[in-house]
Structure formats: C-alpha cells, structure tokens
Amino acid sequence: MDIESGSQNDGAGMIRLTLEGVAVRRGERRLFEDLNLSVRPGEAVALTGANGAGKSSLLRAIAGLLTPEAGRMRFDDNGQDLDLEVARTRHLHLIGHQDGFRSGRTARDELAFQVGWCGGGPGGIDEAVRALGLEGLMDLEVRRLSAGQRRRLALARLLAAPRSVWLLDEPLSPLDARWRAEVGQLMQAHLAGGGIILAAVHDPLPIPARTCEIGGTA
C-alpha cells in the first residue's frame, strides 16, 4: 500500500457526504439547526465555531453516534447512495478526544486492535507507524506516551485502515509544529486519493480547506 499517493482501498472509490437541514440538540439545548453542507471527494472542510457550538456533536452525528433532531445525511459513491450503516461501519473514521486506548496496554496491541477492528491489515500498521514516527514507541504502554505521541498513535489508524471519510475532532491540537506539518501532508495525500476530511478546529488546518461556521442559532 502506498500511503504517499493516498491510495484508497476501502472499496468505495469516491464518496461524497451531504448534510441537508441537520439540527442537533443536546438535552434541552439546540446546538444548531438547518445545517446544509456538501463535501466532495478530495475536499477538506474545517468546522469552526465557539466552544460548545456543536462541532464535536456534528461529527458524532455524522458518525451515527448521536441522533440528529432533524435533517438528512447521505453518503453517495458517484451518485449512488450508500446504506448509512454500511457507510459508517466501512468507509468512515472518527478520531475524537477520547481515543479508546487502554492506558495499561502497549501501543502495539492497542493499535493492532483498532486497525484490525476497522478492517486494516498488519502490513498497513508498519507503514503507518513509520509515517507517524512511532517506531521506537510501539512497545511502550499507552500511558507512558505524551499527549502528542498518543494523538499520533490514534491518527495511525487513519493510514493503516484506509477509509474514505475522515472525521477529525481537533486533530492537531496536541501536536508540535513539525508534526502538524507532517500530518498536514498525510491529509493532503488522503485528499489527493479522493478522500474527504471534516475537521473541527480552532487553528486553521495546514491544508487548503473550506470553512464552515457552526452555531449561531443560540
């Protein structure tokens, strides 16, 4: 597998994501409503907005981890609608604040599980580990990694188990300047291969991206 050219082998060539009139409510509070957004293959969208505006909730709603109050979501592959369940369980990655790593297990075990669960093979893991500079760290327990290293370990899943749609919740915040640039290049390669990226951010992404402001109904 060639990461540099961002090849996609998740079976869906070019996935487009469309949101129509989406509204999300948390408890008594409506975070936003009537959100329309279309992300074409090869496109990145930076979700901006104040703290609590609902950026993370939107990503979780797209991933099906939260039911929107209203609206429709569509994943289509060259105009052919995909089953939502299939799209979410085969073609979508969500990297959130909680990475799902057990602190007492080694980075290798944890990454192997996450990648295997998402349908990636062991070959991809080695490539991803190299691309994210994790070579010396894989036998350490996750709790001994720094925040930046731990985030890179989470991001390694994106490369080792290729899926078209990347939903990233502040992916770069714990990373230093060097790794922001490196991860930016990996994102660029993903887009070049026809993937799409939706990222909740406070700082601008290091790649060309459309901006979508969330919130404003409150």
Partner 1 sequence: MSAALLLLRREMALSWNGGGGPLLACGFLLSLAVIVPLGAGPRLDQLASLAPGLVWLALSLASLLTLERLFERDFEDGTLDLLALGPLPDEGVVVLKALAHWLTIGLPLAAMTLPVGISLGLTPAQLPLLALTAAVGALAFSVTGALGAALAIGARKGGLLIAVIVLPLFLPPVIFGAGALVAQADGRSPGPALALLCACALVAVVIGVLAGAAGLRGSRT
Partner 2 sequence: MFGLANPDRFMRVTRPLVGPLWVIAAVLLAVGSVWAFRVPEDALQGDTVRILFIHVPAASLGLAVYASLGISCLFYLIFRHSLADAAARAAVLPGAAFTGLALITGALWGQPMWGTWWVWDARLTSMLVLFLLYIAYAVLRGAFDDEGRGARAASVLGLVGLINLPIVKFSVDWWNTLHQPASLLRAGGTSLDPAYLWPLLVMMTAWLLLFLAVWLTAIRTEVVRRRVLAIRARRAREAQG
User: 99-110 burial by CB neighbour count: b if 16+ within 10 A, else e?
Assistant: eebeeeebbbbb
Structure tokens at 104: 């007492």
Stretch that binds partner 2, among 21-29, 110-118, 136-144, 181-189 (CB under 8 A): 21-29
Q: Please tell me whether residue 94 binds partner 1 under the rule CB under 8 A.
A: yes
| Minimum CB–partner distance for residue 79 and partner 1 (Å) | 24
Chain positions 62 to 81 lying near partner 1, rule: CB under 8 A, are 63-67
| Interaction pattern, residues 102-121, with partner 2; x per rule: CB under 8 A | --------------------
Q: Please tell me whether residue 27 binds partner 2 under the rule CB under 8 A.
A: yes
User: Which partner, partner 1, partner 2, none, binds residue 93 by CB below 5 to 8 Å per kind?
Assistant: partner 1
| Minimum CB–partner distance for residue 3 and partner 1 (Å) | 21
Q: Please tell me whether residue 51 binds partner 1 under the rule CB under 8 A.
A: no
Strands 196-200 and 210-213: unpaired
Angle between helices 177-192 and 147-160 (to 10 degrees): 10
- How is residue 108 annotated by DSSP? H
Structure tokens at 137: 């760290």
Asked if residue 53 lies in contact with residue 26, where contact means CB atoms within 8 angstroms, the answer is no
The alpha-helical segments, DSSP class H, found in the chain are: 55-62, 84-90, 107-117, 122-131, 147-160, 177-192
The smaller minimum CB distance to partner 2, of residues 2 and 28, is found at: 28
Q: What is the Cα–Cα distance from 154 to 148, expressed in whole angstroms?
A: 10
**H or E element: which one contains 71?**
strand 70-77
The smaller minimum CB distance to partner 1, of residues 98 and 177, is found at: 98
User: Which partner, partner 1, partner 2, none, binds residue 28 by CB below 5 to 8 Å per kind?
Assistant: partner 2
User: Binding residues for partner 1, per CB under 8 A?
Assistant: 60, 63-67, 88-90, 92-94, 96-102, 104-105, 109, 113-114, 116-119
